[in-house]
Amino acid sequence: MASAAPWPLGSLPMSLLLLLLVPGAAGVRVTGHSVEEKDRQPAMAREPSSQRVSVALAKHGTLSFSAYMVYRERCKAITECFCLKHSTHIMNNVCGWCQTTSEALVGNPTGPEEDEGECTWWIWSPNNCPRLRCSEDLDKRFFIRQAMPTCVVAVLAAVTLFLYQPQKETVSLVPELTCAVRTKEEFMKGLWGQRARLSSRTFQQTRETVSNMHIVMCSVPLTYTIRTVFIQAVAVAIFLTFVHLSPMYLHKETFEVMETIMEQTQATVSTLKLSSGFVFSFYFLGRVGWWWSIVDCGRAIQGRTHDIAMLVSGVTANEEHTDQDAWWEAKWNFYRYLMLIFILSFRPLSPALQLLPDDKLEQMGLLRHQEALVIQKALHPRKVVLKWLTLWVSENVQDKTDRHLVHDKICGLRGATGTLHDTLELRAPLSFETVLYAMVWLWIILMPFSHISSTKRSVLLETPIELPLVNFMIVASFYLTSLKLLEVFKDPFGLHADALHVQAIYLETETTVVDYLTSPMSDALKPACQEVYYEEEVNEKK
């Protein structure tokens, strides 16, 4: 007959194996509380140490000499301390690491077996190894897994740099402004003349964010932010990878020093996050409010101009004018002065209106050559034209009460134009802004330390870096976009996508003034009107 296969645990019979594997069978308990177990322990003490391993190692019974040899050979195959994690038996771990001799030995948590010798630096748990490194794990898949986040971010950064093209900041005048015919003859035709039309744009640029997301993403602040964040993300990915792998290459004592540094840096990052975030939020909201104040100033100038045109056109229509041609010449000058005040108020601020020098204004019919010479010599051209407008009202508005009322509106217009320039000068102190920007940038640079969730070596080694990296990119994008927007807010009439469109509000104002000054009266009011307006015949409905 063929010889029987050896028992799994050496020379132990099957019946004894069943008793060992099934606790409580036949009244025998492994915990040592039964009589048989107590009688067996003195006998175990008399056995040679090479034929036993502590009961703590095999919770379900003792191990035979052959099993001990199997585990000993298994431990000898371990060449590095952290490779102990691969020696886990179905019952328990029977291999430990002796750092003194740099070899793995059979033992228990208290030390190696007697036959293995003594060890002054005994390591039972793999997490207590000087370095958490096992060469068995360092295969191609491991290196690909570690390099993947950095490589992906580096490729994205390269793509953004390759696709990035600096936007050429160009400005032009809209055709509604330049193609209009501004002459006294066309002005007298009023609503039927060739005059300026409304712009297709609005004073403040608006769009549906959801339906125009691609346009929003291509705006200057976001384009700058995406490019910068991807470049910074490469450095952050390298840093997080180093921290992630540091337990493998840094000695335990060296890592403890780095752990202390990381904890102190995290405390600094928390302080920066709280202080800079609090101050930055209020400063950013203040600048947004300042932007809306600029919009209000533009609308206030427009409103004052409308008030003056409405009052002058209304009160003078009831006054008698013997020479209609001379009166229309006066109204034409009044219209020119109002429009010149508006243009000269915004021209120093708007790159678009800077394309309207004095000679261009002469070609448009809004300025005469002698007037242009005077304006060129003045340091505050709009105030010169305000003086002309005040004299015009004093000369052509006959009723004293109405004249005082119009003068009051002119003073309001002067105040509105001055408020616009004064509001533009409202800036935070340079030192405060410098400190704030430095704090935000320092917070962004140190932000990766805040994403190190734990300083324990085993946790760092097992934690992937993808989520901390994505978190950094999101938070950094928000702060960098906000910083770029703060720079955009400093130039509300500039060339960027969010700039206020002065040409639109000017065309709104000009068309309104023309309507006030030249529109015919209702038939019901014609008996009270002393002026003669141009009005084409309208075919009567049949």
The answer to whether 386 and 414 are in contact (CB under 8 A) is yes
pTM passes above 0.85: no
Token couple for 155: 């490729």
Q: Alpha-carbon dihedral of residues 408, 412, 415, 420, nearest 10 degrees? A: -170
Cα torsion angle, 322, 328, 329, 332, sign: positive
- d(Cα 389, Cα 224) in Å, to the nearest integer? 47
- d(Cα 153, Cα 235) in Å, to the nearest integer? 9
Please list the alpha-helical segments (H only) found in 218-323. 220-249, 252-317
- d(Cα 177, Cα 157) in Å, to the nearest integer? 43
Q: Distance of CA 334 to CAs 28, 85, 396, 409, Å?
A: 117, 93, 10, 14
Q: What is the pLDDT of residue 171?
A: 82
The answer to whether 508 and 299 are in contact (CB under 8 A) is no
Q: What is the pLDDT of residue 41?
A: 38
Please list the alpha-helical segments (H only) found in 174-251. 175-178, 184-189, 213-217, 220-249
Count of other CB atoms within 10 angstroms of residue 465:
26
- d(Cα 228, Cα 214) in Å, to the nearest integer? 19
The answer to whether 97 and 104 are in contact (CB under 8 A) is yes
Q: What is the pLDDT of residue 45?
A: 37
Find, among 84, 79, 123, 83, the residue nearest to 100 by Cα.
Answer: 123
Bridge-partner residues for 98, per DSSP?
103, 122
Backbone phi, psi, residue 112, to 5° = -75, 165
The answer to whether 423 and 489 are in contact (CB under 8 A) is no
* Helical (H) or strand (E) element with 449: helix 430-450
Q: What is the pLDDT of residue 7?
A: 35
Find, among 467, 518, 439, the residue nearest to 183 by Cα.
Answer: 518
Cα torsion angle, 352, 353, 356, 358, sign: negative
| DSSP output for 503-529 | HHHHHHHHHHHHHHHHPPPPTTTGGG-
The answer to whether 334 and 385 are in contact (CB under 8 A) is no
Judged by DSSP in three states, 54 sits in coil
Q: How many residues does the chain have?
A: 542
Judged by DSSP in three states, 88 sits in strand
Give Cβ neighbours of residue 221 (< 8 Å, ≥ 6 apart).
Answer: 481, 484, 485, 488
Segments of the chain scoring below 70 in pLDDT: 1-68, 88-93, 166-167, 207-222, 537-542
Question: Angle CA(136)–CA(137)–CA(140) in degrees, nearest 5?
Answer: 110
Q: What is the pLDDT of residue 2?
A: 40
Q: What is the pLDDT of residue 1?
A: 40
Q: What is the pLDDT of residue 221?
A: 59
Backbone phi, psi, residue 379, to 5° = -85, -25
User: For residue 414, how many C-alpha atoms fall within 13 Å in the half-sphere facing its CB?
Assistant: 16
Judged by DSSP in three states, 114 sits in helix
Q: Distance of CA 294 to CAs 99, 346, 383, 491, 500, Å?
A: 73, 12, 20, 11, 9
Q: What is the pLDDT of residue 212?
A: 56
- d(Cα 499, Cα 491) in Å, to the nearest integer? 8
Judged by DSSP in three states, 7 sits in strand
Phi-psi region of 425 (alpha: psi -120 to 50; beta: other; left: phi over 0): alpha
Give Cβ neighbours of residue 135 (< 8 Å, ≥ 6 apart).
Answer: 79, 80, 83
The answer to whether 268 and 446 are in contact (CB under 8 A) is yes
Exposure class string for 339-359: b at 16+ Cβ within 10 A, else e: bbbbbbbbbebbbbbeebebe
Q: What is the pLDDT of residue 28?
A: 34
Q: What is the pLDDT of residue 40?
A: 38
Bridge-partner residues for 10, per DSSP?
7
